[in-house]
A = this chain, B = another copy of it.
Amino acid sequence: MEKLHKIGFSKLTPLEEALEKLFSKIHVNPIEEIIIKEVLNRILAEDIISEIDIPPFDRSAMDGYAIKAEDSFRASPKNPKKIRFTGTIEIGESSNLRIYKGEAIRISTGAPIPEGSDAVIKIEDTEIENDLIILYTSLAPGKNISKKGEDLKKSTLVLSKGTELKAEHIALLSSLGYNKVKVRTKPKISIFSTGDELIEPGVSLQPGKIYNSNTPMISALVNLYGGIIIRGEGIKDDKKAIKTKLIEAAEDSQIIIFTGGTSVGTKDYLPEIIGELGSILAHGIAMRPGTPVLIGFLKNSLIFCLPGTPVAAYVSFLKISGPAMRKMLGCSVLDPRIEIMAIINKDVPVSGLGYLHYLRVKIEKEKNEIIAVPVKLKGSGVISSLTKSDGIIEIPPHQEGLKKGEKVIIKLFPR
């Protein structure tokens, strides 16, 4: 009879320790410059310092008349004051018009304030009488003028490298005149799901088989985390096939992600193969689900062997592979998940002290509270426990579970 592999992990690495070692070995990707149209969700690779003032000139905040404020002093509906209409400045114009005492220039919102003017009276507070403008209100100097640099001064640091660029950042960059920007190149990633039981979706199911859901799931996560997938396929539990694929992928991948084949079963060949060809940084992490995770290296490729059970693979990706990708991208925030606070609605005992536990929860709103409802689950293969959940509560290794009514932090699934 075949020799049994050793059972269980001789030593589990705490997650924090594994991540610290891992991150210390990751280099940030090279820089590329891309046009602003294509920059959504990319990671900024340069500090952005404003080279202009915003607004770039004193401009009108209203449609009205540029005047000298003193000409309006003591004006009121009962005591209107009249001044002379001398011209118009439209938005977008650079005008040489100048204002002298007793004069008004028609001005649009956003148009440059003419020299000599220190206030804009709103059109609603005026009337026109031939070439005279009647003022019905008194203005303080500066009224309805947006001063040059008021929103943003020249030479201010406006965005730091490591920022994930969203619509509002793109607006800010454009308003400063950027039509291209430096970002980090996307990590190149190969994904392999191992297992003799796997068949690809789209064909009919055979006895003893299940559909490969890990390749599509991890591919979606890689896209979400800003990587490029250069390979995504299933492999049989065949030592030679795995070796060949691994060597091939190590030629061009920054990260190689396997699912399955990393535990301590008879056909879990990955630890042996990676130990032989490359090096293992950690195998066996003190977390549940996700214990069998292996982190290793081969040439310049970082290797993650995630468990074959989909929920364990998903959670391991969020905690380990995803943050590693963001480290390569130079992100200032390695874990992009949003954290919200909630009240847990039942006791959650934990078996296995010393493990970091991931609890899937659904969010419910109740009056003025957000309630975390643990999603019933059995084992880490139940994908529907993910689609029924909104996020994960992490129970630290030395905490004995959660008490009903306790305040908890939910990390929402990445979006």
1/0 per position for A136-176, CB-CB distance to B under 8 A? 00000000001000111000001100000011111111111
CA distance A91 to B93 in the complex (A): 75
- Interface stretch of the complex, out of A72-80, A218-226, A293-301: A218-226
1/0 per position for A104-145, CB-CB distance to B under 8 A? 000011111000000000011000100100000000000000
Q: Is A197 an interface residue (CB 8 A)?
A: yes
- Interface stretch of the complex, out of A200-208, A271-279, A393-401: A200-208
Q: Give the residues in chain B near A382, CB-CB below 8 Å.
A: 151-152
Contact A91-B195, Cβ < 8 Å, known A213-B174, A314-B168, A386-B171: yes
Contact A167-B221, Cβ < 8 Å, known A36-B216, A379-B61: yes
Task: Find the B residue at minimum CB distance from A197.
Answer: B92
Question: Does the CB pair B150–A177 fall under 8 Å?
Answer: no
Q: How many copies does the complex hold?
A: 2
- Interface stretch of the complex, out of A21-29, A50-58, A242-250: A50-58
Q: Is A198 an interface residue (CB 8 A)?
A: yes
- Interface stretch of the complex, out of A10-18, A349-357, A407-415: A407-415
- The interface on chain A, measured as residues whose beta carbon lies within 8 A of the other chain's beta carbons, has a size of 108
Q: Is A346 an interface residue (CB 8 A)?
A: no
Q: Is A281 an interface residue (CB 8 A)?
A: no
Question: Does the CB pair B216–A110 fall under 8 Å?
Answer: no
Which applies to chain A's interface (DSSP): helix, strand, loop or mixed?
loop
1/0 per position for A225-251, CB-CB distance to B under 8 A? 000000010000100000000000000
Q: Is A70 an interface residue (CB 8 A)?
A: no
Question: Does the CB pair A91–B172 fall under 8 Å?
Answer: no
Q: Is A254 an interface residue (CB 8 A)?
A: no
CA distance A133 to B280 in the complex (A): 34
CA distance A131 to B1 in the complex (A): 9
Question: Does the CB pair B201–A36 fall under 8 Å?
Answer: yes
Q: Give the residues in chain B near A214, CB-CB below 8 Å.
A: 171
Question: Does the CB pair B208–A94 fall under 8 Å?
Answer: yes
Question: Does the CB pair A387–B168 fall under 8 Å?
Answer: yes
Question: Does the CB pair B216–A201 fall under 8 Å?
Answer: no
Task: Find the B residue at minimum CB distance from A369.
Answer: B341
A binding-site residues for B, Cβ under 8 Å = 1, 4, 7-8, 36-37, 40, 52, 54-57, 61, 63, 85, 90-95, 108-112, 123-124, 128, 131, 146, 150-152, 158-159, 166-180, 195-198, 200-221, 223-224, 232, 237, 263-267, 308, 310, 314, 338, 340-341, 368-370, 378-379, 381-384, 386-387, 407, 412-415
